[in-house]
């Protein structure tokens, strides 16, 4: 697979005002390959290709034909899972066992979106005998999709799947740090036989290519995953065109363990979630709320498990946790660890940069645990995006709910209890788009995912994912064909 071209209009083209730049392997801190990136002129080309495809072949294609193409894409994707996982782990440092697990599920996502493509029906509106009124679901148009570096293929799948099922065309701009796996998608779209311009892939800088895509008058919608601060900039940049926006933003998920829970299972979930993706996911339970009677037991379990995490080469199947995906994220995580110490939280495991043998310049951090974290501390309020668990003691449901809801985020939450009444009571009062009870991070193609408060707008996955890629058109047809002359009398 070559990464030195952009995928625009169904062809692999050289950038006009971009170029080639090295992509860094975060486990060594050294470049591993050159990747094409685009500038404004390249974005213009991609948007023009997407517009032409939208007006032409894609708009005219029957929904069942679109569904068939998506199914073919899903089948081809399934044959590339290992290759895609290798590229992604190389580019962003995610442990290969995790990349395989995540990317191995993507064909199911594509199959699910394919299955929705020919079921976008409207409804008949009861009126009187003089008219027949009905709604149709029509695609929004050209969609700019902007994705982050932590889960490039997952983010692309969650956006392109529903966008294409809805009948939209797409320009995909992956994060500048991890563009390679997104470019690899181009080959699969080409092989599946998608009409030219339906999908265009242009890596590039957020401030230039990304901002230009957002401001573009011929882009009808932006689907974005990333930081809240970037989303606010995007809203301002896109305001003049009044385009549509959907946002998947950050999270600071509370993971609540009540004393009546199956503590062993809860600890399995909570420790797994603390260090998955080296802490670089918005869905992880970065705040672990533990009821007082079991507090010491859970803290000790975290300390012990931290010592069992195998940190190292992400391409080694034995590795549990790879490096942070880039140098800025490493620095951010280490800064937050210092903030936690300064605030008086109790560092019980980790806390330092790691230098595994042969990868001394890699961006590794120890699995880190702070106990006795107090609500309001910055490590309790802000998204670190590193392998740092913050354990917070509480007493009773009211305090747990107050702490859980005490941040500006509201993406995911988890709770563990043996009391079914409590499960319903507490789940019902948590401000989050997704709540798990006696499980954690169960996310699938059919389960709507997204945030409340400052965690985002709209939902990905599920039937709901289609909503933000569709408009509703209402048609009213007279059954009489008569229209009274307003000036007859
Ligand atoms: P950023 O917001 O920095 O970047 C996300 C994307 O936006 C990148 O492609 C970036 O390009 C682009 N971008 C940056 N500035 C602009 C701009 N002015 N206009 C248009 N596009 C721009 O987020 P990160 O990549 O740092 O990702 C981490 C964040 O994403 C975390 O906060 C995390 O919570 C969130 N996230 C949320 C998820 C969810 O589902 N809710 C899932 C995964 C991550 P470039 O790379 O060139 O800067």
* Model confidence pLDDT, tens digit, residues 175-218: 999 999 999 999 999 999 999 999 999 999 999 999 999 999 99
Ordered by where they begin, the domains of the chain are 6-250+455-475 (3.40.605.10), 254-437 (3.40.309.10)
Confidence label for 119 from pLDDT (cuts 50, 70 and 90): very high
Which distant-in-sequence residues (6+ apart) come within 8 Å of 441 by Cβ? Answer: 269, 273, 276, 283, 284, 285, 412, 414
Ligand 1 pocket residue status of 471, Cβ below 6 Å: no
247-272: pLDDT as tens digits = 999 999 999 999 999 999 999 999 99
Ligand 1 in reach of 434 Cβ (< 6 A): no
Distance from residue 148's CA to the centre of ligand 1 (Å): 4
Ligand 1 mean position to 383 CA, how many Å?
Answer: 13
Q: Using alpha carbons, select from 461, 436, 435 the residue that is nearest to residue 448.
A: 461
Query: Is residue 463 scored above 90 in pLDDT?
Result: yes
**Interatomic CA distance for residues 192 and 194, integer angstroms:** 6
Distance CA(292)–CA(6), nearest Å, equals 55
Cα 212-204-456 angle, rounded to 5 deg:
70
pTM of this structure? 0.97
* Ligand 1 atom nearest to 204, measured from its CA: 47
Alpha-carbon gap, residue 292 to 102, rounded angstroms = 35
Over residues 427-431, the mean pLDDT reads 98
Q: Ligand 1 atom 30: the closest Cα is on which residue? A: 226
Residue 463 backbone phi and psi in degrees, to 5: -65, -30
Confidence band of 469 (pLDDT split at 50, 70, 90): very high
66 has pLDDT over 80: yes
Helix and strand tally (H, E) in the chain? 15, 22
Looking at the predicted structure, is the pLDDT value of residue 87 above 90? yes
Instruction: Report pLDDT for 2.
Output: 76
Q: Average of pLDDT values for 277-291?
A: 97
How is residue 411 written in tokens? Answer: 């993406």
Q: Which active-site residues does the annotation give? A: 248
DSSP character at residue 54: I
Return the pLDDT at 376. 98
CA of 419 to the centre of ligand 1 (A): 39
Query: In the prediction, which pLDDT does 19 show?
Result: 97
Q: Which residue has the tokens 């942070």?
A: 324
pLDDT score of 488: 96
For ligand 1, atom 28, name the residue with the nearest CA: 226
Q: List, for residues 5-26, the tens digit of each pLDDT value.
A: 999 999 999 999 999 999 999 9
Ligand 1 atom nearest the C-alpha of 455 is 41
Task: Give the CA angle between residues 413, 456, 138 to the nearest 5°.
Answer: 120
- Asked if 255 and 285 count as a contact pair (C-beta separation under 8 A), the reply is yes
Ligand 1 geometric centre to CA of 228 (Å): 8
């Amino acid at each position: 697979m070559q990464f030195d071209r952009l995928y625009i209009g169904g062809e692999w083209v050289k950038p006009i005002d971009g170029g080639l730049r090295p992509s860094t392997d975060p486990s060594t801190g050294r470049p591993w390959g050159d990747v094409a990136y685009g500038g404004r002129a390249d974005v213009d080309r991609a948007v023009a290709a997407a517009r032409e495809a939208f007006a032409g072949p894609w708009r005219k294609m029957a929904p069942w034909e679109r569904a068939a193409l998506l199914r073919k894409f899903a089948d081809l994707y399934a044959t590339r899972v290992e290759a895609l996982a290798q590229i992604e782990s190389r580019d962003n440092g995610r442990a290969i066992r995790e990349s395989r697990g995540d990317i191995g599920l993507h064909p199911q996502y594509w199959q699910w979106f394919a299955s929705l493509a020919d079921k976008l029906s409207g409804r008949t509106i009861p009126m009187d005998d003089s008219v027949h009124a009905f709604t149709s679901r029509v695609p929004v148009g050209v969609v700019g999709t902007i994705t982050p570096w932590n889960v490039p293929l997952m983010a692309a799948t969650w956006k392109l799947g529903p966008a294409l099922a809805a009948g939209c065309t797409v320009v995909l701009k992956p994060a500048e740090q991890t563009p390679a796996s997104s470019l690899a998608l181009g080959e699969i779209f080409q092989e599946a036989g998608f009409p030219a311009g339906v999908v265009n892939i242009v890596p590039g800088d957020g401030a230039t290519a990304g901002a230009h895509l957002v401001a573009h008058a011929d882009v009808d919608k932006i689907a974005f995953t990333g930081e809240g601060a970037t989303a606010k900039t995007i809203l301002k940049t896109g305001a003049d065109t009044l385009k549509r926006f959907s946002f998947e933003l950050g999270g600071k998920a509370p993971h609540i363990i009540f004393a009546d829970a199956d503590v062993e299972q809860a600890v399995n979930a909570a420790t797994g979630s603390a260090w998955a993706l080296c802490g670089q996911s918005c869905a992880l339970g970065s705040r672990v709320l533990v009821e007082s009677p079991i507090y010491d037991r859970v803290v000790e379990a975290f300390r012990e498990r931290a010592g069992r995490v195998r940190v190292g080469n992400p391409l080694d199947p034995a590795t549990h946790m790879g490096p942070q995906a880039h140098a800025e994220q490493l620095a951010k995580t280490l800064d937050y660890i210092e903030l936690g110490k300064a605030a008086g939280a109790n560092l019980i495991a980790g806390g330092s940069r790691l230098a595994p043998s042969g990868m001394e310049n890699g961006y590794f951090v120890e699995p880190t645990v702070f106990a006795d974290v107090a609500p309001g501390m910055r490590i309790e309020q802000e998204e670190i995006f590193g392998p740092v668990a913050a354990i917070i003691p509480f007493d009773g449901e009211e305090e747990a709910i107050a702490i859980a809801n005490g941040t500006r985020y509201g993406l995911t939450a988890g709770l563990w209890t043996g009391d079914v009444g409590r499960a319903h009571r507490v789940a019902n009062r948590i401000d989050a788009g997704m709540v798990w009870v006696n499980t954690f991070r169960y996310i699938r193609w059919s389960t709507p995912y997204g945030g409340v408060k400052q965690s985002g707008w709209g939902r990905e996955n599920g039937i709901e994912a289609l909503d933000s890629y569709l408009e509703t058109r209402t048609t009213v047809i007279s059954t009489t064909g008569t229209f009274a002359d307003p000036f007859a009398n």
